[in-house]
């Protein structure tokens, strides 16, 4: 099978162990065959999820105090939930948009290969957190979570440019803004093991935002749009609310996301 079908298999796997296995298979199969796979015409709106965690409205997810192990466990659980969603978001990019006609044919493998590497990173991030959660006697699913990430991405299911604008360049970029604060708080309470995991994630997420920003800019060039004003238009059409400062300008710049993209939207 090719990458698009393997990516669909990731989306159709519910339990964490099955989703991780499918993500690894996607990467391994690509390494061996470089086979893009067929266009998927019946994409599911929602990926399969495990029975737990229950998905609740964002306001019902409790805020965490990091002075206690329970608070740190809750923070790690929330990040694990983001990474679990991120596995699906990368798989969805491949299965839903891998055959998008706006991707030049001679660039299609690069598109697929880059999002497979993202999917594989997200699976690894999730696994690192799962291992760390176990050290808190917790596992993914123990606490309620919200479905905001997936819902925000789902709005762009029929618009490739909007998906690139929203998933990597708004949602993942937001991770770059908030992760240093988490690292600082966890450092203050001496939780070095969790800090080390968040540092790995943070550094790799810069790469994910960079991949999204690069494809978005390429698409803008192909379509003859000014990248920044096109981004502004797509975000206002497809994303509810404004972008929240403060922004991590340094990390965003490293990812190739110039201030002109996001500053006017805050
Ligand atoms: Fe991640
Ligand atoms: Fe990511």
Q: Encode pLDDT of 95-122 as tens digits.
A: 999 999 999 999 999 999 999 999 999 9
Q: What is the pLDDT of residues 2-54, one digit of tens each?
A: 999 999 999 999 999 999 999 999 999 999 999 999 999 999 999 999 999 99
Q: In this predicted structure, what is the pLDDT of residue 255?
A: 98
Residue 10 and residue 26 in contact, taking contact as beta carbons nearer than 8 Å: yes
CA of 154 to the centre of ligand 2 (A): 17
Helix/strand/coil for 25: helix
CA of 20 to the centre of ligand 1 (A): 13
CA of 81 to the centre of ligand 2 (A): 12
CA of 156 to the centre of ligand 2 (A): 18
Among the bound ligands, name the one nearest to the CA of residue 126.
Answer: 1
Residue 163 and residue 74 in contact, taking contact as beta carbons nearer than 8 Å: no
Among the bound ligands, name the one nearest to the CA of residue 90.
Answer: 2
CA of 86 to the centre of ligand 2 (A): 6
CA of 198 to the centre of ligand 2 (A): 12
Among the bound ligands, name the one nearest to the CA of residue 171.
Answer: 2
Q: Which two tokens stand for residue 13?
A: 């796997």
Residue 182 and residue 60 in contact, taking contact as beta carbons nearer than 8 Å: no
The residue whose two tokens read 């030049």 is 104
Nearest-angstrom CA–CA distance, 165 and 217:
10
Nearest-angstrom CA–CA distance, 224 and 231:
13
Residue 80 and residue 126 in contact, taking contact as beta carbons nearer than 8 Å: yes
Residue 173 neighbours by CB under 8 Å, 6+ apart: 209, 252, 255, 257, 262
Among the bound ligands, name the one nearest to the CA of residue 211.
Answer: 2
Asked if the bond preceding 53 is cis, omega within 30° of 0, the reply is yes
Among the bound ligands, name the one nearest to the CA of residue 205.
Answer: 2
Torsion sign across C-alpha atoms 210, 215, 218, 223? negative
Q: What is the pLDDT of residues 223-264, one digit of tens each?
A: 999 999 999 999 999 999 899 999 999 999 999 999 999 999
Q: CA 182, 263, 116 angle in degrees (round to 5)? A: 60
Among the bound ligands, name the one nearest to the CA of residue 173.
Answer: 2
Burial class (CB in 10 A: 0-12, 13-18, 19+), 60: exposed
**pLDDT class for 64, splitting at 50, 70, 90?**
confident
CA of 193 to the centre of ligand 2 (A): 20
The closest alpha carbon to 122, from 171, 157, 166, belongs to 171
Among the bound ligands, name the one nearest to the CA of residue 124.
Answer: 1
Longest dimension (CA), the chain: 53
Q: Is the pLDDT of residue 63 over 80?
A: no
CA of 224 to the centre of ligand 1 (A): 31
Q: Distance between the two ends of the chain, CA-based, in angstroms?
A: 43
């Amino acid at each position: 099978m090719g990458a698009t079908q393997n990516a669909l298999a990731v989306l159709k796997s519910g339990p964490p162990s099955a989703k991780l296995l499918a993500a690894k298979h996607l990467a391994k199969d690509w390494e061996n065959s470089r086979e893009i796979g067929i266009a998927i015409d019946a994409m599911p709106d929602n990926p399969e999820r495990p029975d737990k965690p229950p998905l609740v409205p964002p306001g019902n997810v409790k805020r965490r105090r990091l002075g206690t192990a329970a608070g740190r466990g809750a923070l790690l659980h929330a990040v694990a939930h983001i990474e679990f969603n991120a596995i699906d978001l990368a798989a969805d990019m491949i299965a839903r948009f891998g055959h998008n006609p706006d991707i030049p044919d001679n660039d299609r493998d690069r598109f697929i290969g880059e999002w497979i590497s993202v999917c594989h990173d997200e699976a690894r991030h999730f696994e690192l957190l799962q291992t760390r959660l176990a050290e808190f006697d917790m596992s993914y699913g123990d606490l309620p979570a919200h479905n905001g990430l997936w819902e925000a991405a789902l709005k762009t299911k029929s618009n490739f440019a909007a998906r690139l604008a929203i998933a990597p360049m708004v949602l993942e970029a937001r991770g770059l803004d908030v992760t240093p604060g988490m690292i600082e708080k966890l450092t203050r309470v001496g939780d070095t093991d969790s800090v080390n995991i968040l540092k790995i994630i943070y550094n790799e997420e810069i790469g994910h935002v960079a991949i999204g920003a690069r494809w978005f800019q390429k698409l803008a060039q192909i379509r003859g749009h000014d990248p920044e004003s096109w981004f502004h238009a797509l975000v206002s059409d497809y994303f509810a609310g404004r972008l929240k400062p403060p922004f991590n300008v340094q990390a965003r710049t490293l990812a190739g996301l110039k201030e002109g993209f996001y500053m006017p939207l805050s």
